Each structure stands twice: as C-alpha cells, then as structure tokens.
Structure 1
Amino acid sequence: MFSIGSLIVYSGTGVCRVEAVGPPPFDPGSKVEYYTLIPLQSTGTIYVPVDTKVFMRPILSREAAQELIRRIPEIQQAQLEHLDYRMLAQRYRSFLDSHSCEDLVQLIKTAYTKSTANTRSGKKPSKVDQDFQKRAEFLLHDELSAALDIPFDEVGDYITRQVEQMKQTG
C-alpha cells in the first residue's frame, strides 16, 4: 500500500502523487479504499481502488535514476526490421506496457534510429515511430524528473549533459 505523499508510476498515465487514501469523495460511505492520485504532468484527479490490478509502482530512487542514465549508452535498440505497422505498434506497446525505464530507453533509441534512417534516405519518418517515441520520452522524462527533482522540461538536456560528461571522463 502506498502512503499519502508517495510518488508512483500509475499505468500509462505516468507519475502521480498519492493525495489521499480512503473512501472516494463520490462515495463517502464506501467500504472500498481508494487512492486519490494527482498526475504531475497533467491536470485532473484519478480515483483508483487500493486493490486494483492496474499497474502501479514507486518511482525510481534518485540513485536508480542516475544509474539508468549512466547505462543509457549501453542499452541496445531493439531489432524490429521487416515488421508491418500493426506488428511494430504492438511491439512498441509491449515496451510501454512493461513499465520499465530501460525498455523506454530501448524504444526511444529504436524509434529514433529508424526515423533518422528514413529521413536520411529521403523518406518521411513513420508516424508509429514518432508517436511511440514521443510517448516513451514523456513517460521516461516524467519519472526521471520526479526521481531527480529537476523540472520536466530540463530532463532531456540533463541526460545529454550526463552522457557527454561520461564520454569525456572515459
């Protein structure tokens, strides 16, 4: 059970703060306890039963987030050649559904590489690649922003600086 104030990854929404645990305001007499979740990067409130089967986990620790960034150059892109759009979308969705930051990095690298290759060969980047890359970047940056306590819109530059610094120090 998560406590009030905890930061958690909630399904495909991203990082949410647990604002309350107890009966929901729409049913104050409920015997079922609910989490009241506030997404960090969007508006609204989510009410979810404490015993839900929907994916929830604590965000990465600061140390785990820094270790993930350190490992980004080592994370290999997936080999997804010769897949039609439907199969590619299904495979990308499986990366998102794992809720693993490493899988998000792998998806981002794969989609970016494919889009860059298409652009270089004069083709338009695939909408599937672009959409899934954008979603994976949002989810990854959302979690790293919370774990490292840095503004969401500075995460990309932070990652770039850290990776460059590691290259320079060998």
Structure 2
Amino acid sequence: MFQKDDLVVYGRTGVCRVADIAEPDFCRNRPGERDKLYYVLSPLYQDGTIYAPVDNCKVPIRPILTAEEADDLVDGIPASRAQAYYGGSTQNLRDHYQTLLQTSDCRDLLELVISIYCKKTHVEETKRKFGAVDEHFMKQAEQLLGGELAAALDVPVGEMLDRIVEKLRTRKSTPAQELA
C-alpha cells in the first residue's frame, strides 16, 4: 500500500502524488462502498483529482522509478536496439503503439519513443510527411516517459525531454533499423 506523499504512476495519467488515503464522501451513501479506502491522487502534470480504490485491479498503479533507475534508462538510450515500426496498416500501427502505452512500463515507453524517433528521422531525411498516428503516440509516450523520468530525477519535464532527444541523436543506428 502506498503512503501519503508517495509519487506513483497511475495508468496513462502519468505521475501522481498520493495526496491522501481516505473514504471519500461519495462512498458514504453507497451500499457496499462504505469503509472502502481510496487513494486521492493529484496528477503532477495536469489538473484534477483522481480517486482510485486502494484495491483497484483495473488501472495499473506503481511507484515511480528511482533516480538511479531513471539515469540508467536514459544513459542506455544510445545502445538501444529499438527499431522503427511501420505495421502495414494504420490500425496495426495504432494497435502496436497502444499495446506499448498500456503497459505503463518505462522501458516500453522508451522503446516506443525511440522507434517513432527513428521513423521520424527517416521520414524527414526522405522528405516525406510524418504520420498523424506516429505524432499522436509519440507525444503521449514522451509525456508519460518524460514526466516519470523528470519526477524521479527532480528536473523539469522540458529539460528531461531535451536530455532524451540529445541521447537519441547520439544513438548509432544501422540501415536495417532505419528501414525496418
């Protein structure tokens, strides 16, 4: 069980602070909900409050990475073997990206960011247009990954995203990676 003030990743919302653990007012008048504890979550990078049942099984909730894990993940970007994914059809591409996003695992998110970055670089080099599906999922993955890494390392998100892009630029790719 998480404690008050812990930083957690809540599904695709991203990093949240556990503001409280309590029985919210809306539970008091519902049969079967009385005495049910909820995490009261405050997202770090968006407005609002989330009430998540402590015994929730539907939406993944986990602690954020440690600073050491975050540094290791970022430092490993240049050696990553992630490749651009083309998927054959827009729906296959969307499904592939959606699967990686749903895990809310930083390694999957990093793989997604690297994959789409490779694709974007290749598309720009060949003077073609970068796809809307790729752009949409890249923004989502960058927000989730950048937010968690920034929280773990206690730096602004923009600075973290700049660091990721810098590492991506130093990454060595092979022709097979660019054309996958």
Q: How big is the shift at 1:161? A: 5.9
Q: Is 2:94–2:133's contact at 8 Å kept on the other side of the alignment?
A: yes
Q: Is 1:17–1:38's contact at 8 Å kept on the other side of the alignment?
A: yes
TM-score (norm. length: structure 1): 0.89
Question: Which position in structure 2 is the counterpart of 1:15?
Answer: 15
Q: Is residue 101 from structure 1 mapped to residue 95 from structure 2 by the alignment?
A: no
Counterparts of 2:51 and 2:15 in 1: how far apart (Å)? 14
Aligned residues: 166
Question: Which position in structure 1 is the counterpart of 2:47?
Answer: 43
Tell me which of 128, 138, 146 is aligned to 2:143: 138
Q: How big is the shift at 1:26? A: 2.6
Q: How big is the shift at 1:133? A: 0.7
Report which structure shows greater RCO (CA 8 Å, sep ≥6).
Answer: 2
Q: Is 1:69–1:163's contact at 8 Å kept on the other side of the alignment?
A: no
- Could you list the runs of 5+ residues in structure 2 that have no partner in the other structure? 173-180
Residue-by-residue CA offset, 1:23-73 (whole Å, 9 max, x unaligned)? 013334621100000000000000011001110000000111011111111
Question: Which position in structure 1 is the counterpart of 2:122?
Answer: 117
TM-score (norm. length: structure 2): 0.84
- Could you list the runs of 5+ residues in structure 1 that have no partner in the other structure? none
Alpha carbons of structure 1 residues 126 and 96: separation in structure 2 relative to 1, 3 Å: same
Question: Which position in structure 1 is the counterpart of 2:175?
Answer: none
Counterparts of 2:3 and 2:21 in 1: how far apart (Å)? 7
Q: Is 1:141–1:155's contact at 8 Å kept on the other side of the alignment?
A: yes
